[in-house]
């Protein structure tokens, strides 16, 4: 009996460690906002990525906004390095997604080996009560709106993450390499009226960032080559 108790104790100690090793980790986002038009910034940020072993495939841009989407071992240290090299820029961190759709949690097969990442940004409305409602909608989406995840599966989305820093949202949609969002996104709403309803509700909470074109809510980053 004593031996059994010791074995059971060892199992209980080891179990969380094994689970921890299998825990899925997700990338983070660093946004760099350049105050003025700077034609040299592209070459400098590419050099920074090379010097700090950041894959340049993880670099995206839209106008004065540049984004690094990657796994950072020490994201705060990377921020400090960026501030040292680029003292005039503004840097925003999006460390942990508040919403995670992971295809593997719904479909065990048909997982793409290589992905392309689509990155977009928008703001939440200024009303703080509505901001909390938006977050709450996403916390309970899988339980109350299962059709949304089904729509993502139908569209072959591999992963969808939503981050926020203050009011600003950062959306990352990962799709099979070689596919485009334009061809896949319509499949989310095909024979899925709940997705249309969800999108209509969410649109009440989202607005464009200050420098977005008039009438535009989500601005799309392009991959820097």
Domain 28-94, CATH among 1.10.3470, 3.40.50, 3.40.390, 3.30.70: 3.30.70
| pLDDT, tens only, 152-165 | 999 999 999 999 99
- The reply to whether 28-94 and 99-223 are identical in fold is yes
Bridge partners (DSSP) of residue 102 are: 159
**pLDDT above 90 (res 40):** no
**Which residue's structure tokens are 């906002």?**
33
Top mean pLDDT of 13-17, 24-28, 46-50 is at 46-50
- Beta strand pairing call for 59-62 and 222-223: antiparallel
Give CA–CA dist 134/164, Å, rounded: 11
No. of H helices and E strands in the chain? 9, 11
Burial of 2 (0-12, 13-18, 19+ CB in 10 A): exposed
**Domain edges within the chain:** 28-94, 99-223
Q: What pLDDT shows up at residue 110?
A: 81
- Supply the pTM of this predicted model: 0.88
More confident residue, 18 or 182: 182
Q: What was the pLDDT predicted at 18?
A: 36
Cα–Cα distance, 195 to 191 (Å, whole number)? 9
Higher pLDDT, 217 or 12: 217
The predicted pLDDT at position 33 comes to 97
Residue 153, classed as helix, strand or coil, is helix
Give the residues across from 62 on adjacent strands.
65
Please state, for a pLDDT cut of 70, what percent of the chain lies above it. 89
**CATH code of the domain made up of 99-223:** 3.30.70.1090
| pLDDT class of 22 with cuts at 50, 70, 90 | low
> What is the predicted pLDDT for the residue at 67?
98
Q: Among the residues of 36-156, which ranges form H helices?
A: 41-51, 75-85, 128-139, 141-144, 146-154
Cβ-Cβ contacts under 8 Å for 39 (sequence gap 6 or more)? none
pLDDT bucket at 8, cuts 50 / 70 / 90: very low
């Amino acid at each position: 009996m004593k031996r059994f108790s010791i074995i059971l104790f060892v199992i209980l100690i080891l179990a969380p460690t094994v689970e921890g090793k299998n825990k899925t980790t997700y990338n983070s986002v660093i946004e760099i906002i350049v105050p003025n038009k700077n034609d040299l910034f592209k070459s400098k940020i590419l050099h920074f990525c090379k010097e700090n072993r950041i894959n340049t495939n993880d670099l995206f841009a839209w106008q004065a906004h540049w984004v690094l989407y990657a796994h950072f071992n020490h994201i705060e240290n990377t921020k400090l390095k960026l501030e040292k090299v680029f003292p005039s820029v503004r840097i925003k961190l999006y460390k942990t997604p508040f919403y995670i759709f992971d295809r593997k949690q719904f479909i065990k097969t048909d997982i793409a080996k290589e992905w392309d990442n689509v990155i977009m940004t928008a703001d939440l409305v200024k009303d703080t009560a509505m901001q909390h409602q938006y977050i709450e909608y996403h916390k309970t989406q899988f339980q109350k709106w299962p059709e949304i995840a089904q729509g993502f599966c139908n569209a072959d989305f591999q992963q969808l993450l939503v981050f926020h820093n203050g009011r600003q949202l950062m959306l990352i949609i990962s799709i099979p390499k070689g596919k485009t969002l334009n061809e896949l996104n319509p499949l989310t709403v095909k024979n899925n009226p709940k997705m249309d309803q969800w999108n209509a509700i969410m649109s009440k909470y989202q607005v464009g960032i200050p420098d977005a074109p008039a009438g535009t809510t989500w601005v799309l980053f392009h991959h820097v080559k």
